Amino acid sequence: MDGILPLWKERGMTSHDCVFKLRKILHTKKVGHGGTLDPDVDGVLPICIGKGTKIIEYLQDSGKTYIGEITLGFSTTTEDASGEVVAQTVIETMPLSVEIDEVMAEMVGTITQIPPMYSAVKVNGKRLYEYAREGLEVERPQRQAEIHYFKRTSEPVAKEGTISWRFEVGCGKGTYVRTLAVDTGAKLGYEAHMSDLTRVGSGGFIAKECFTLQDVTDLMEKEDQSFLLPIERAVTMFERLDISDEQYRVVRNGGFLVIDELALADASGMIALFHQERLISIYAQHPTKQAFLKPVKVLRND
């Protein structure tokens, strides 16, 4: 069994929980996920199976899309609704929608984030959430995040001393949306947290394509593998190059290709090599021999 399963992860489960359960459901050990989702977050979780596990890193590096809610009024230990309240702000005047929009627009582009204490980032060989559970505070490394867009999708609503609104964000690898919510509140002058979050897109997969664990279980009982998508779906973000039989003989042995002999629009990024409609390898420009492409990952050579 080889391919990609676009899974809809339900709340209350870790990404690893999903992988563990799928190994039993699918009767295979070669299962991995293409991007961690927190237990309190539901949404799109691409699952790689068999030879599909070779392209996990590309799914993890791909862009993500989320919808959620930001709440002003108090912040929490985890920066989301599951944490304990650590600070509060009395809201006397509701911020104008235009003020919120201006602040959210300021967050678009390359921004600097400090990961939350309840995160998997390692400091001195130990994950931040392990320090947090011990009640320890450590210096956290700054990280760069790419925010493609960040927009408000509902009017702000006041309730019990808080103000909330819905949002949608498109972002790159490693973005902490919880921190994005907190930083948005700080720019507006309030304590804040992310009160709700769902991932609706990841690795080129969207919500309507997804299957739940129960869906997969039911289909497997019918010996139906319609939930399994081809590995080729995982590299749609790369430039595609269809190679000839002669070039395939070179590629299957890990050989170099001369860029000037190829019909490429752009040779600067990752290039997905196809032969007879099958994804064979991922190639990229040689770091020192600029006239050549070299293999980065061989997926099939049979």
- Work out the pLDDT band at 183, boundaries 50, 70, 90: very high
For the stretch 46-55, pLDDT in tens is 999 998 898 8
Domains plus CATH for the chain? 3-62+203-232 (3.30.2350.10), 64-202 (3.30.2350.10), 238-298 (2.30.130.10)
Q: Exposed, middle or buried by CB within 10 Å (0-12, 13-18, 19+), for 140?
A: middle
**3-class state of residue 196 by DSSP:** strand
C-alpha closest to that of 46 among 9, 78, 77: 9
Pairing type for strands 292-298 and 85-88 reads unpaired
Residue 269: phi and psi, rounded to 5, are: -110, -165
The full length of the chain comes to 302
CA of residue 249 relative to chain centroid, distance: 35
Q: What is the pLDDT of residues 193-227, one digit of tens each?
A: 999 999 999 988 999 999 999 999 999 999 999 99
Instruction: Indicate the pairing of strand 162-171 with strand 143-152.
Output: antiparallel
What is the C-alpha to C-alpha distance for residues 85 and 76, in angstroms, rounded to an integer? 4
**Is 40 an active-site residue?**
no
Half-sphere exposure of 253 (CA within 13 A, CB side): 8
State the pLDDT at residue 31.
95
Residue 174 pLDDT greater than 90, yes or no: no
Contact 74, 88 (CB under 8 A): yes
pTM > 0.95: no
Set 2, 17, 38, 42: catalytic member:
38
